[in-house]
Amino acid sequence: MLINFYKYQGAGNDFILVDNRDDAVNHQNPGLIARLCDRRFGIGGDGMMFLQNLEGYDFEMVYYNADGQPSSMCGNGGRCIVAFAKHLGIIDTETNFLAVDGPHYAKISASGDWVSLQMIDVDTIKRDNGAYVLNTGSPHYITLADNLKDKNVFQEGRAIRNNDTYRKEGININFVEPSGEGYFVRTYERGVEDETFACGTGVTAVALAMAKHNNKTGHINTPIKALGGDLNIHFDYDGKKFESIFLEGPAVKVFEGEVEIG
């Protein structure tokens, strides 16, 4: 079976997208997903998404990690699928869609390459020694680091992700260093099992954790620099709950093509 696919990237976080509104593709196939996401033997991507029809929403986002397994929420993936929906003519400048962690609202620029995605509210941040642990649609571990550009994120991130506390469920590991008015962030992602160029739920978690770390409240804007580019997070925090959380950044179509999945 030959299917059309589209490749999108958001700050270097890259994804394979398929318009599956006709339900032609049975995507509950981890081996197929992993093969297509392979960077040597497939198309290559940090994950794969299927855009599907769902009553009451503009569309449904179904997301798989690069290992072929169903995933928790992907923030940059969410922004990319919004850009994809605009490309398909499903939406114009605003949308409401459903992802694995619930409904999401998003706005997209007229040019279609800048997306502001509302994330779920957060009211719980835990501590693990000096690190912060929270869920922004996916679970994240946040730790401050010095000389981050030279850190072995693969080695150190993998060790934390696979320690006794997190091995079973997995967690994404974010290393953070202050940079200008915001932060420089590098992330080791579960499911990809490697460092990625950016992680949307990760940088969102960083922004919230750093607000708590620095005892900031009110409306907070936090610019983040990832390996793949610049992102921005803004939200409201009253000292107990984070609300109106938006992840903003680029979402760009790289190329499209056909692939045999039989």
Q: Which residues pair with 196 in a beta bridge?
A: 187
Is 137 within 8 Å of 148 (Cβ atoms)?
A: no
Identify residue 108 by its one-letter amino acid code: I
- Per the residue annotation, which of 83, 99, 199, 233 is the catalytic one? 199
What is the pLDDT at residue 112? 87
Sorted by where each begins, the domain ranges of the chain are: 2-119+251-260, 126-243
Percentage of the residues of the chain whose pLDDT score is greater than 70: 100
Element (H, E) at 34: helix 30-37
What pLDDT, on a 0 to 100 scale, did the predictor assign at position 262? 78
Catalytic residue among 74, 134, 160, 205: 74
pLDDT-derived band of residue 213, with 50, 70 and 90 as boundaries? very high
For residues 31 and 163, what is the distance between their CA atoms, to the nearest angstrom?
26
Q: Is-same-fold flag (2-119+251-260; 126-243)?
A: yes
CATH of domain 126-243: 3.10.310.10
37 is catalytic: no
Q: CB-based burial of residue 3 (10 Å sphere; 0-12 exposed, 13-18 middle, 19+ buried)?
A: middle
pLDDT level of residue 143 (50, 70, 90 thresholds): very high
Which of 198, 209, 222, 75 has its CA nearest to residue 142?
Answer: 209
Euclidean distance between CA atoms 109 and 140, whole angstroms: 29
pLDDT (0 to 100) of residue 171: 97
Is the distance from CB of 78 to CB of 117 less than 8 angstroms? Answer: yes
- Indicate the burial class of 240 (C-beta count within 10 angstroms; 0-12, 13-18, 19 or more): exposed
Task: Return the number of other C-beta atoms located less than 10 Å from residue 171's C-beta.
Answer: 23
pLDDT, tens only, 47-101: 999 999 999 999 999 999 999 999 999 999 999 999 999 999 999 999 999 999 9
Read off the pLDDT of each residue in 146-163 and give the average, rounded to a whole number: 98
State the fold for domain 2-119+251-260.
Diaminopimelate Epimerase; Chain A, domain 1 (3.10.310)
pLDDT greater than 90 at residue 20: yes
What pLDDT shows up at residue 63?
Answer: 98
